[in-house]
Amino acid sequence: MKGVITIKEPRCKGCGICAAFCPKKVLAVSELSKIFVQNPEACIACGQCEMRCPDYAIFVDKEE
């Protein structure tokens, strides 16, 4: 299963929690302290980033 990640940038404070919990290192923190998807093809739609985000700024849609 693959995942499509959507980031609501105005909500993101760049804490990096989502990137820290991503088992496939799909997410990273930019120089501007915002989260971005650095490796989208590696996403396995586990949902760890979505569950851990304290600001509800990231969403994972599953696709087959």
Residue 51 CA: distances (Å) to CA of 31, 41, 46: 24, 20, 10
Query: Higher-confidence residue: 55 or 32?
Result: 55
| 2-63: in CATH 3.40.1160.10 | no
pTM of the model as a whole: 0.87
- Looking at residue 64, its pLDDT comes to 77
Under 8 Å between Cβ of 14 and 34 = yes
pLDDT, tens only, 4-44: 999 999 999 999 999 999 999 999 999 988 999 999 999 99
Which among 58, 62, 59 has a CA at the least distance from the CA of 13?
A: 58
